[in-house]
Structure 1
Amino acid sequence: MGAVTESPVLTYLASEGAALSDIGLDHGVRAVFGRTPTQFQTYYVTPDGRAVITGILWDLTAADPGRRNVTLRQTRSIPGVVPTVAIGTQAAAALQQQGQPAVEVERVQAVDGLSLLANAHVGVVGQAGAPIVYMVFDPLCPYSVRGMDELRPAIAAGQLQIALLPVAGLDNHNNGQSTLAARSLLSVPPEDMADAWTKVVQATRRRQSFGIGILTGSDVQLQDNKSIAVSLGVESFPTFVWRQPDGTAGTFVGSGGVQQILRAVGR
């Protein structure tokens, strides 16, 4: 693949065992998708081929807001990147036989998804009194990790409270580690979940065990969170959800949305 062989960075990543795939030219930029056993990342190759840029490519001129996240559109069809929601055990099993990632949930009645957030199992980080924004995330999703890192200054400044709602959507990509990571986070006190998430991410990068005891009942809590995520229409991670003044849901998908979220909650 020319994009790899012409880039020293990508050549090095390939030599370290990363599986790299050219996913095409979009908006004049060559995109390469990289995958290791525990992580994945999209790389954008500079015109001279000597460097790459990691991150999310946005097209803010797109009339359809759902198509502004170019990276999400480019990677949606790659197995393991965006989990497929399967209603019921049989549907999930059928998808898994096809090699497709699936988040399995039980059938739920059509209800106001926002009202279900009161029943979610979450960890909260931020100053009391700040607007609450729910973050639905997979603990091992690199976009979720990046999204949380971007939020930290706003959290520290008292502008936001983040209710961390862990789910597991990438098990087919990481051999079930997402479920173990999510259950680990659900096994610590809510006020400790953010720090536990950092610990899980660091342990994963070092290929070490999480070092967090998994409590009985965390599997039920995880299933509850999955059902709520489906009711909210979550399709990818991270998804941010908040209640707007008119009672409807405000949402943002992906990283890079801190300023938009702050404006939406009046901060």
Structure 2
Amino acid sequence: MRPLLTALVALSTPALALAAPACPAPEPIAPTPLPGAGPVMPPTIPAAEIAASPALRRIVSHGAVLYRLPTEHGLHAVFARSGSQFRVFYLTPDDQAEIGGVMWDAAGHNITRSQVAAIPGTVPTVHWAPATAPSAGVPATQPPGQATTDPVARLAAAHFGLEGRDGAPRVYMLIDPLCPFSTRAFSALAPYTASGRLQLALVPVSINDHENNGASTPAALELLSADPHAMGDVWRHLSGLGHADMQKAPSPVAQAALTLNLSAAHAIGMRGTPTLVWKDRTGTIRQEAGTPDDLNQFLASLPS
């Protein structure tokens, strides 16, 4: 069993004006405290009910403890937990079969996420408090009193896909896959990745859920489930659809990868997508929000 839910991003500082067109982080929202002092768990399913259901018996046979969730669209929902691992199952009306996974409604709302949001440990949270964003194209700096963060090293430890020739100067690009400015930047830089002038390291995050009804997170998970060298092609396909391919389940590690990327974005003070981070020909680290205003100047700054 594995977590199948999407990461939350709790924003605690307002977004500053971006130096170039980019999808900004949403306005700050305070994390909602869980009711009560202890864990919020749904009621357990009685042993007699489990014994009477072939589907529940199969789930329990793997060592899980079963909790009852609200019925959705005529299907009884079960939260199964074994240690730190969990999964949500929906039972068929005859109690003979179970369906493990995430339920979405016709509007693209993640019903499963809403069902388990109050259960501790089910939805990873990154508290977003970016540092002051650097001006466009200037060296990235850290506010006084904070430990120095090397943005290039921080993103090198994140999860990313590669677009362009290996050995070409690498530029890290933090993207929300459904942010139109991220898509435009990818298109604008495509001729230069194709010609070998640079290699883009695509770092998917999800900050645009507040504008697209939660569609950015499953899109980011789809990219993070792809082979790194195929991520660009997956993104182009996803952009054509306008949303994630709901027929594809995220990989077992996509959730953790997205949480790690959001943490890296926070650490370098990202204010919106796309954000470009690179080391120029002098060894100076540069960080810029949006597509560079002067592409020739940007390309000239890259190492030969």
TM bucket normalised to smaller:
0.5 to 0.7
Which residue of 2 is the match for residue 142 of structure 1?
Answer: 180
- 1:113-192 equivalences under 5 Å are 113-192=151-230
Residue 233 of structure 2 aligns with an amino acid whose one-letter code is D
Instruction: Identify if the C-alpha distance between structure 1 residues 92 and 148 changes in structure 2 by more than 3 Å, giving closer, same or farther.
Output: farther
More displaced, 107-116 or 182-191? 107-116
Number of residue equivalences: 180
Partner SS state of residue 249, structure 2: coil
Quick one: distance in 1 between partners of 2:150 and 2:228?
24
Gaps of 5+ in 2: 1-16, 34-124, 131-145
Q: 1:85–1:230: 8 Å Cα contact kept in structure 2? A: no
Residue identity (%): 34
Question: What is the TM-score when the length of structure 2 is the normalising length?
Answer: 0.53
Quick one: distance in 2 between partners of 1:203 and 1:219?
22
Instruction: Identify if the C-alpha distance between structure 1 residues 211 and 145 changes in structure 2 by more than 3 Å, giving closer, same or farther.
Output: farther
Instruction: Identify if the C-alpha distance between structure 1 residues 211 and 203 changes in structure 2 by more than 3 Å, giving closer, same or farther.
Output: farther
Quick one: distance in 2 between partners of 1:181 and 1:210?
9
Shift of 1:107: 8.3
Instruction: Identify if the C-alpha distance between structure 1 residues 208 and 265 changes in structure 2 by more than 3 Å, giving closer, same or farther.
Output: closer
Cα RMSD of the aligned pairs, angstroms, is 2.9
The alignment status of 1:244 with 2:267, answered yes or no, reads no
User: What is the CA deviation profile of residues 35-88 of structure 1, one whole-angstrom value per residue up to 9, with x for unaligned ones?
Assistant: xxxxxxxxxxxxxxxxxxxxxxxxxxxxxxx7764x56xxxxxxxx511487xx
- 2:263 counterpart (217, 227, 248): 227
Q: 1:136–1:164: 8 Å Cα contact kept in structure 2? A: yes
Partner SS state of residue 172, structure 1: coil
Q: Between Structure 1 and Structure 2, which shows a larger proportion of helix residues?
A: 1
Instruction: Identify if the C-alpha distance between structure 1 residues 85 and 115 changes in structure 2 by more than 3 Å, giving closer, same or farther.
Output: farther
Partner SS state of residue 105, structure 1: strand
Which residue of 2 is the match for residue 216 of structure 1?
Answer: 252
Partner SS state of residue 257, structure 2: helix
The alignment status of 1:200 with 2:238, answered yes or no, reads yes
- Which of the two has higher C-alpha Rg? 2
Quick one: distance in 1 between partners of 2:220 and 2:244?
16
User: What is the CA deviation profile of residues 205-246 of structure 1, one whole-angstrom value per residue up to 9, with x for unaligned ones?
Assistant: xx7845443112211100100111111111011010002345
Q: 2:26–2:210: 8 Å Cα contact kept in structure 1? A: no
Instruction: Identify if the C-alpha distance between structure 1 residues 148 and 210 changes in structure 2 by more than 3 Å, giving closer, same or farther.
Output: farther
More displaced, 123-132 or 113-122? 113-122
Which residue of 1 is the match for residue 298 of structure 2?
Answer: 261
Gaps of 5+ in 1: 1-65, 73-80, 95-102
Residue 160 of structure 1 aligns with an amino acid whose one-letter code is L
